[in-house]
Structure 1
């Protein structure tokens, strides 16, 4: 019986590897299909900007549909979501250089990531534990993808070096084939690695969380202190807003990552105090950003970027504020760690919902400018 189980496990692992690499190849091929119709990456950047997530996320969802053996009803729902996203991304008549097009390109992958999560959860998205597993998977996927990207960068560098010795420039090949195909296929391969190498990544999560949480707290405290000392205002140009919101989202990610790697039954520790400091400093930084955005809207009115940033910062404010309350209750012995975990996982659809609103509703609301 033990031998039979071993053979079965090996067969399943081999089949899973074949499927993962087949889907990775399919994603790499899919991103090159538009070039057959004259839609080249260097000439139609906006098309690839809008559709990048649609080249890879359906394939990743297909991987989890097979792995979790989802039913036909769930499969149809997931397919409808991706088809609707594809129609919206390619039917909106965006102006050239449109801000709303950039917003759609940034927010559509966030909304579709929830669809991947539903497939990952295997039809049990309503369970907080499954949602937290998806959070852990998302963080570990990012780690593996970065490692694959670094390895691909080194490989490309060596290729350029050795082909350069015989007078051949591989930069066009790199930009047209290696980079887009490697990026899309790499997401599937990294996901497969996470699923099959969990014992390795479980040791990475707490180390990263414990390393970067205090560092980000120091950065935010220094930023707030410098702002008070100099009396300067905050620049809220589009690129600055995007970068600042990304910083706050990374902090939320660190919080989620810390929660996912922590034993919920253990007593409060010094690291939990660090988490509270990080939350409070992020909350204050978000208030500063909201103040600056509100001032600019009052002076100059609404634009797509300002409205998207206003909504995102309000969403972050609510999450950070209540997370701080729950963490303080936990530290003082008046609340459980499970309440923090459930709040964070319950709040995930809020981010996806706002991302969907930005991607779907804001472009027509502002005339696709």
Structure 2
């Protein structure tokens, strides 16, 4: 029996029609026309006809060559590139700290978000005040390479990242679903930006080599005026593409989460076993303790990325158990790190670095406990997956507050 007859035979069986379509979409589409012609009054086939031949309404007016949003994005991208280049000029002269380069990009991203998702005046005033206060405060601090200053430079971008999140969420900043959308945006943006950056590096290498062939070394000029400008501008382009629902990053992100989670779990297991085997001691080895915290932050990032890409499906799968395993191992790492930090504080006294590391480890420990308990309840069918996502999204402001505390108080209060 050919597929035409099979389509007609199963007209009243939507499940079988869907199975036939998924088995061989091209053959189904080619054979559907004859079945539709023989049964033009079938409501089921009418739905399939619309599904297979659906087209957006064609506007009679000719679409502009450049859409309004595209032009606006282009202007913001150019501004980001120009501001970053100007700021870099002052960084080169050592009149301002290099972290000021963040102000060439992050405020522009915030402008893009608030323009496309207009918040109320209170949110706008808050955003403007936070960016202005951060910029002024950063540049009245002395240009010193003390521990407190370095900690401020490290934590200020984290605080500004949370501020950009406020611009993204707008009036819905209290909603967990909107915060989750911001986390998803970051994952998709990172993937897309990496793809564009790799393309840019290939172009840079080709350009350098071409000019070397004619005896010219344009490395310094090209970095300052093309690479720097392009890196900043691409951040706005990437923001625009992700916000416009570019399917490349959206389709890749879930697969990356599913691939990396088991790889990170296996790597972390091997790493911990190796640490025990070789007898490394984070209580006495400062550099090893720092690497321990680096591992912890990486695992936390991968776990959150995997959770945000898992969706709201109630059905349990292998990824959920892998994520739970990652969280448990991360808790073990964090507990060891916390013990080592407390030991070093009691043995060697208080320092800015020890206080900052103690604070962030306590925050991560509490967050991991919350996520782990939510996962256990989910796997026992006591809650849905949204409880896990809430454990991630509702905790985000806590990291922002701690980053603000370190950035704004440590250079003044902790010497």
Is TM (by shorter chain) over 0.5? yes
Equivalent of 1:93 in 134, 137, 142 = 142
Equivalent of 2:247 in 193, 199, 211 = 199
Equivalent of 2:110 in 47, 61, 70 = 61
1:35 and 1:340 mapped to 2: Cα distance?
A: 41
Within 5 Å, give how 1:10-89 maps onto structure 2: 14-34=67-87, 39-41=90-92, 43-44=93-94, 47-89=96-138
Structure 1: gaps of 5 or more residues: none
Contact 2:189–2:249 (Cα < 8 Å) also in 1: no
1:270 counterpart = 2:284 = no
Deviation at 1:13, TM superposition (A): 7.5
1:227 counterpart = 2:272 = no
* Stretch moving more, 14-23 or 83-92: 14-23
Contact 1:94–1:100 (Cα < 8 Å) also in 2: no
Deviation at 1:22, TM superposition (A): 1.1
Equivalent of 1:161 in 200, 206, 209 = 209
Deviation at 1:201, TM superposition (A): 2.1
Contact 2:155–2:404 (Cα < 8 Å) also in 1: yes
Structure possessing the higher relative contact order (Cα contacts under 8 Å, 6 or more residues apart): 1
2:287 and 2:74 mapped to 1: Cα distance?
A: 36
Within 5 Å, give how 1:332-351 maps onto structure 2: 332-351=380-399
Deviation at 1:7, TM superposition (A): 6.3
1:241 and 1:178 mapped to 2: Cα distance?
A: 39
Deviations 1:158-215 (A, max 9, x none): 1110000111111111332233222222211111121124333222121111111111
Deviation at 1:351, TM superposition (A): 0.9
Q: Which of the pair has more CA radius of gyration?
A: 2
Q: Against the structure 1 CA distance between its residues 94 and 47, is the aligned structure 2 distance closer, same or farther, given a 3 Å change threshold?
A: closer
Deviation at 1:86, TM superposition (A): 0.3
2:284 and 2:221 mapped to 1: Cα distance?
A: 38
Deviation at 1:366, TM superposition (A): 2.3
Deviation at 1:34, TM superposition (A): 4.3
1:17 and 1:88 mapped to 2: Cα distance?
A: 34
Query: SS state of the match for residue 32, structure 1?
Result: helix
Q: Give the paired residue count.
A: 360
Cα-Cα RMSD? 2.4
Deviation at 1:273, TM superposition (A): 0.9
Deviations 1:244-289 (A, max 9, x none): 4443333223223222222424211122111111111111111122
Equivalent of 1:215 in 263, 270, 273 = 263
* Stretch moving more, 217-226 or 229-238: 229-238
Within 5 Å, give how 1:292-307 maps onto structure 2: 292-307=340-355
Query: SS state of the match for residue 233, structure 1?
Result: coil
Contact 2:97–2:143 (Cα < 8 Å) also in 1: no
Q: Against the structure 1 CA distance between its residues 71 and 26, is the aligned structure 2 distance closer, same or farther, given a 3 Å change threshold?
A: same
1:213 and 1:164 mapped to 2: Cα distance?
A: 43
1:312 counterpart = 2:382 = no
2:111 and 2:156 mapped to 1: Cα distance?
A: 18
1:259 counterpart = 2:307 = yes
Query: SS state of the match for residue 169, structure 1?
Result: coil
